[in-house]
A and B are shown apart, each in its own frame.
Chain A
């Protein structure tokens, strides 16, 4: 015992010497330097595991069975770990292969980012099989164990929320200028990366059987299992890690939408003292039942996905969402914004997307409006899509403007990924120049602000389009356009 104490004392002395600078910006959920050292030697355990009540209900929190090799190494801090989920948890990828997620554990804090990966959506044979020419969903073949460390161009779309390196200001540094962007504090948090393999914005619960329109292949059996994957991941986090002092739910595209739809349940079942939401480019536009598509352009999309993903099933996803959000109106999924705002008045919530988005917008309208699908040229198609997107975005902006704790940040354009996702690759060029705002201002306002969450919208894309060519964006766009 005394030898261990002596060893610990010596280690502490060395550790504190190497960390001579005082801990700055220590926040709720952070460990002290002594605790960090102790964590390295004796990793902290779960302190708010799944309760018996939480194992009940239509979407219970289910754990891996005893003895199941989940791959978790408690002491492997700052190393990406693959966490396996057994079939007993209810988790599965769309193609029937096992679901897994990824963890970058921090010794410094309990604070946690849960990042949901983006990647389209699917609701029929063509879109769920990854058939070329149709916008589909990511990972139709499931998730390899080494997913986080495979060099593939899709990984270039990584968000600064995912990883430890502060590469945010490389552009300035490469140009010999001084750093300007503030570091993103969540880069030192625990990072949970939820990969996307169900094509249902992490919200569905239905085994679909999609016939091949050509008749040449067997029907596709596809598991829209996103909601149960989320529940299984949450169960594991509660059973293996300390409860986060602060938790950020975020993601882009489908990951943003999934963060939005799963926020209430995750928030309540995790029970963190402080919680934040940042939905990047995954809007749920208002489309009340019976509403016309002229007034609510996303109405046809919602009719499709409600059926395809089993959203309206008895005791299904929307019923469960309403259980966690009593003021959520199941007939209009766009009511989720005011419902979240009302249910969690002390949380800071935010939504962002570009006015000129051509990706999520295409998913939303292209296959539902013949005049778009049959447009004579790309310019016409783009114009028609943006007209509908503007109607939907205007209404969403109006909705968030009326919510003090749900901010909205709507820049115009970025020459990357069809102006889709503001928080991927870097946090640049999501600026609203006429209000002297950078995207990081919005992010920091959500995470650290006081009072009304920032609301801002850009009127013109002229300044954005006048920016010089960005070689990194050119490369990323090229790689993405080559089908990778």
Chain B
């Protein structure tokens, strides 16, 4: 049964691309209500594809823009809808960026490494002679590599 589910899920992901293409090929021939309804179905499926990571952000965004263009006929309303979509993307980007910075700030291993990093850099830059005949750059890289491995092993 598990094997069947694997194949079924695979086929579902393949079908989505066909559904997208079929909709856009027929969209202009549909009445506005049917067009909107099918676009909404596609948007819901798009959300599912985003959730299971079978579609990238870039593909999703291009598709969302295309769905606006095909379902909103009035030029001003279309421009307003696209601007609203752009604002949504911008807000999501800000949110994601903040979340990542917070994650880095809370990452003990990363923060430990960054403290070691500055200490090592200052020490190596102040060394009058580099051991082993290495260049300063090579020695610095080696020391920082060791510090990273140690920080992330703990």
- Give me the interface of A with B, judged by CB distance under 8 Å: 7-8, 11, 14-15, 18, 37, 40-41, 75, 77-81, 86-88, 90, 92, 96-98, 104, 107, 141-142, 144, 146, 148-158, 162-167, 170, 173-174, 176, 179, 205-207, 209, 218, 221, 223, 310, 313-314, 425, 471-472, 475, 478-479, 482, 484
A11 touching B3, Cβ below 8 Å: yes
Q: Total contacts A to B, CB within 8 angstroms?
A: 186
Interface string of B88-132 (1 = CB under 8 A from A): 111011001101110110010010011001100100010000000
B99 touching A18, Cβ below 8 Å: no
Q: Which residue of A lies closest to B14 (CB)?
A: A78
A425 proximity list for chain B (CB < 8 A): 62
Picked from B50, B66, B125, the residue with its CB within 8 Å of the CB of A209 is: B125
B107 proximity list for chain A (CB < 8 A): 97
B56 proximity list for chain A (CB < 8 A): 80, 104, 148-149, 155, 158, 162-163
B7 proximity list for chain A (CB < 8 A): 11, 14-15, 37, 40-41
B55 proximity list for chain A (CB < 8 A): 163-165
**CA–CA, A173 and B27, complex, Å:** 8
Of residues 117 through 153 on chain B, the ones whose CB sits less than 8 Å from some CB of chain A are 117-118, 121, 125, 135, 137-138, 140-141, 144-145, 148-149, 151-152
B90 touching A150, Cβ below 8 Å: no
Q: Which residue of A lies closest to B17 (CB)?
A: A165
Picked from B10, B17, B101, B113, the residue with its CB within 8 Å of the CB of A107 is: B10
**CA–CA, A153 and B85, complex, Å:** 10
Interface string of B69-95 (1 = CB under 8 A from A): 110000000110010001011101100
Residues of B in contact (CB 8 Å), total 69
A152 touching B96, Cβ below 8 Å: yes
The reply on B25 being an interface residue by CB < 8 A is yes
Given A97-B110, A153-B86, A207-B141, A78–B59 Cβ distance below 8 Å? Answer: no
B144 touching A173, Cβ below 8 Å: no
A484 proximity list for chain B (CB < 8 A): 89-90, 93
B54 proximity list for chain A (CB < 8 A): 78-80, 164
The reply on B38 being an interface residue by CB < 8 A is no
A79-B52, A479-B86 given; name 7 further pairs at CB < 8 Å: A79-B13, A80-B54, A157-B58, A162-B56, A425-B62, A479-B90, A484-B89
Picked from B78, B90, B110, the residue with its CB within 8 Å of the CB of A96 is: B110
A207 touching B137, Cβ below 8 Å: yes
The reply on B33 being an interface residue by CB < 8 A is no
B17 touching A313, Cβ below 8 Å: no
Given A40-B10, A173-B25, A207-B140, A163–B104 Cβ distance below 8 Å? Answer: no
List the 4 shortest-distance A-B pairs measured between CB atoms, nearest first: A158-B58, A152-B93, A173-B24, A87-B148
B10 touching A18, Cβ below 8 Å: no
B104 touching A141, Cβ below 8 Å: yes
A97 touching B10, Cβ below 8 Å: no
A166 touching B21, Cβ below 8 Å: yes
Question: B4 to nearest A CB, angstroms?
Answer: 7
B3 proximity list for chain A (CB < 8 A): 7-8, 11, 40-41
Picked from A107, A144, A475, the residue with its CB within 8 Å of the CB of B100 is: A144
Question: A71 to nearest B CB, angstroms?
Answer: 12
Picked from B14, B60, B101, B125, the residue with its CB within 8 Å of the CB of A141 is: B101
**CA–CA, A228 and B25, complex, Å:** 46
Q: Which residue of A lies closest to B60 (CB)?
A: A151
**CA–CA, A404 and B101, complex, Å:** 48
B96 proximity list for chain A (CB < 8 A): 144, 146, 150-152
The reply on B65 being an interface residue by CB < 8 A is yes
Given A148-B53, A155-B57, A165-B17, A40–B90 Cβ distance below 8 Å? Answer: no
Given A40-B10, A153-B90, A209-B125, A158–B59 Cβ distance below 8 Å? Answer: yes
**CA–CA, A164 and B58, complex, Å:** 11
B99 proximity list for chain A (CB < 8 A): 144
**CA–CA, A161 and B95, complex, Å:** 27
B27 touching A90, Cβ below 8 Å: no
Given A87-B149, A88-B149, A80–B90 Cβ distance below 8 Å? Answer: no
The reply on B34 being an interface residue by CB < 8 A is no
Given A87-B149, A206-B137, A479–B24 Cβ distance below 8 Å? Answer: no
Q: Which residue of B lies closest to A144 (CB)?
A: B100
B137 touching A163, Cβ below 8 Å: no
B58 touching A79, Cβ below 8 Å: no
B53 touching A149, Cβ below 8 Å: yes
The reply on B28 being an interface residue by CB < 8 A is yes
B53 touching A80, Cβ below 8 Å: yes
Given A87-B145, A152-B96, A166-B17, A310–B52 Cβ distance below 8 Å? Answer: no
**CA–CA, A150 and B89, complex, Å:** 9
B151 proximity list for chain A (CB < 8 A): 87
A155 touching B63, Cβ below 8 Å: no
**CA–CA, A157 and B56, complex, Å:** 12
B61 touching A96, Cβ below 8 Å: no
A151 touching B11, Cβ below 8 Å: no
A313 proximity list for chain B (CB < 8 A): 135, 137-138
Picked from A96, A142, A158, A174, the residue with its CB within 8 Å of the CB of B66 is: A174
A221 touching B117, Cβ below 8 Å: yes
B88 proximity list for chain A (CB < 8 A): 151
Q: Which residue of B lies closest to A170 (CB)?
A: B66
Question: A21 to nearest B CB, angstroms?
Answer: 12
B113 proximity list for chain A (CB < 8 A): 96
A478 touching B86, Cβ below 8 Å: yes
Question: B91 to nearest A CB, angstroms?
Answer: 9
**CA–CA, A207 and B147, complex, Å:** 14
Q: Which residue of B lies closest to A315 (CB)?
A: B138
Interface string of B13-48 (1 = CB under 8 A from A): 110110011001101110000000000000000000
A81 proximity list for chain B (CB < 8 A): 53
